[in-house]
Structure 1
Amino acid sequence: MADSCWVPGYIGDSIILGILDTGIDSSHPALSGKVIKWRDFINNLPYPYDDHGHGTAGAGVICGGDGFGPFTDDIGVAPGVKLVVAKMFASSGVPYVDPIYGLQWMASLKADSGFNIRAINNAWGGNITTHFWEVCNTLKALEILPVFSIGNSGPNPSTTCSPGNYPLVLGLGATNFSDSIANFSSRGPAPDSIPWNNSVYWYRADWNLIKPDLTAPGVSVRTSWTNHQYSILNGTSFATAHATGAIAILCEKNPVLPIEEIYNILLDNTDHPAQGAPYPNNNYGWGRLNVWKALQAVIGVEEQEIKFVTNDFVLPTIVRGPLYLPQHARVTVFDISGRKVVPPYLAPGVYFIETDEKIIQKIIVLK
C-alpha cells in the first residue's frame, strides 16, 4: 500500500530516520545516496558497511529504491528517506557494544547537532528489562519515536521482548501474505509490573499492556542484501522496518507531527483481518499497518505566503539580500551553475533560492 502514497507525492522526502543494526551496504543500488550520518561502534571504521546483512535488509524495506523514478527494483516503503546509521552489532549478529550507546548518540544528534531524526528502527530486543527505559523516555521527549520489533518467540502468550514491549515505543509483530499473524511473532501482553503498568508512560489511555501495538508484513519479504544482492526474509525485524518507513510518509505530509499523534494515527487506522478479531488484542495489537489509511488521517501543513524582502532583483530571479520567512520553511539552495548546494556548506557567492510550502522544525539561516 505504500506505493499508493507515492501517487500524491509522499515518499518520505528528506525525512531523517535512524537505524541501529549490523550496518548498511550503502553501495547497494537500492540504497545509493541515502546515508547522511554514520557511526561504527564495533570496529570504528569511518565508512558505512555491513558484514552481516541484517541492517542492509532492514534499510531496504524502509527506503530501498526511488519510488516512481528510473530505478526499477523498488523494495522500500519511503524511498525519499535519509538515514542516520549506527553499527551496533558485529558480523556474528552479537551486540558487543551496548545498544544504549547508539540510542544515546542519536538523541545527541538531534539535541545538539540539528539532525531532525523522527524515528529509529530497532530490529532487535532481548529479555524483559528496564535497561533501555530512560533512553527511550529521552527519545520520546525529543520527539523521536523508537520503533522496535516485538520478537520472534511466538506463538505462546507473554513472549514479547524488551524494549519492544515498552509503552514508550511502537512495538511490531509480523503478519504473512494472508494477513494471519506469523507463527513466530511474539505475543503479548506486556509485563504487569512497574513501570509498564504506570499509565503516565502510555501514549493512549486504553493501551493497558497490549503488545504488539500493531503488525506489518514480516513473512517472505523481499529486500536488499550485501554485495548488491537481494534476499527473501522472515521476521518481526521486517515488520518493524515497514512501520518505520510508514512514519516517514506521515511526517512528509506534516513534518511537525508529534510522535504521540503518529503513534495513535497508526494504531487508529489499521486493517482488521477477520481471523484476528476482536481488536485490540495481544496477537495483532490494534491491527495490521495500513499506511495509506493513516496518511489520510494526517492533517497536512497549509501553504504559507513567503516574501522576499529585498530591492535588488536581477533576472532570472536572482535574489541578493535578506530572506524573511513568516515561519519555518525548507530552503533549497542552488549555485550559479544550477547545482544544488546542501546547507550548511555554503561558500560565499550568488545563490538561487527556492522555497516550498512544507514546514520543518528548524529554520535554515543563510549568512
Structure 2
Amino acid sequence: MPEFSESPARLAVSLHQPGPIPLGADFHCDAGELLALVGPSGSGKTTLLRAIAGLYRPAAGRIACGGETWFDAGVRLSLPPQRRRVGLVFQDYALFPHLTALGNVMVALDHLPPRERREQATAWLARVRLEGLAERHPAELSGGQRQRVALARALARNPRVLLLDEPFSAVDQVTRRRLQRELAMLREQIRIPIVLVTHDLDEAAALADRLCVLHGGRSLQAGPPEALFRRPASPEVARVLDRHNLFEGEVVEEGGERRLAWGPWRLEAAEGLATLPLGKRVSWYLPPSDVVLHRRGRPSQGERENPVQARVETLVVLGGMTAVTLAFDHTERTLGFEIATHAARRNGLARGEAVQVSLLAAGIHLMGAETPPDTTRTMT
C-alpha cells in the first residue's frame, strides 16, 4: 500500500495582480487540513488552483509549501509543475480515454519500473474502492467511478498538496454524497494540505476545516465554516455565503445602556455594542437559527430576546420544514428563517398574518456600515 510522508507541510499563498485576472488573495492550508475556496463564478478560485499547481504565473506574490518556495515573483522564481508535486483533480476528470483505469493511474507513476507501476496503481485503485475495474476504459465507467480514477491518479503522484476543482459537480446527488463521505474518510489517511474549490456551500461546510471566501479575486475572510456563517466579516462576505438577514441600525443609548436602533425597536446585542460610539451606523446580521417564533397569543417577555412584530410575507413548505419570510413596515429588507412544518401549522401561519418573533441578542452580529445604506425608513 502506498505511503505518505507524515512531516507537516503548510501551503502558504499570497498572490496579487491588477489584471487581466484580478487577484488579491492571501491564505494558508496546513498538513491534514481541508481548505475550501468559495465564491461566485469569476472570483478567481480556479486561477488560484492553477497558480499553486504551476500552470499559471501571476504578476506578483509568493507560494510556499513546507518551507520550500514554489513561486516568488520578486526574484523571478517559478518551479515547474513536476517539481511542485501537486495532485490536481479537475471538474471534468481529464482522464485519457484510450487508457484503462489502471493505465490512467500508471501515468502518474512513470518514475517507477513497469512492474512497480502496476502494483502501485492497483493498490491506489483498491484504496478508492475500484477493485475489479482496473481494465475498464473511462467510457465504461460511471461518473463516480471516473472521479475515483482521477483521485487515485492524483494521489499516486505522492503529492505534497492535493487540489480539487469542483470534483463532484458532474455526478448525481446520491453519488456526490457518497464521494464526499469517501473523501472525508480518505483525508484522515493523507496528511497533506487539501484545497477544494466548490460552489456548493453545504459541501464546503460539511467537508472543510476552514473556508476562504473569495470575490473578485480577493480573499475577504477565512475561518471555520460555523464561524463564518454566524459571524461574516462584512455584508459582502455574508452575501457570498448566501446569508440574507442583513440589516442596518444605529448605536443609541437607552437607560444608560447601548442599544441598536432598528426602526421602532431598540435591540440588545450580546457583543460589540459597548465599544461603538453613539450615532454610529452599523450593518448587522442575524443567523436564521436565532429567530424564535412566539406561539400565538403567548408572546415572550424574556430578557435579551428582542421581541419584534412583523407580518408573514411568504411561506414555502419543504417537506418537514417550512421556510418563512417576514416583512416589516420600516424597511424593505426581509427576515428569513425555517420552522418545523407542524409548528407552522399549529401556529396558523399564513401569508399576511401578523406575528411576533424574538431576535436573540446572542445571535446579532455587528459589522461596519454598508454602502449603499439600507432602505430603512425613519419612523415617526
TM-score, structure 2 normalization: 0.23
Normalized per residue, which structure has more helix?
2
Larger radius of gyration: 2
Normalized per residue, which structure has more strand?
2
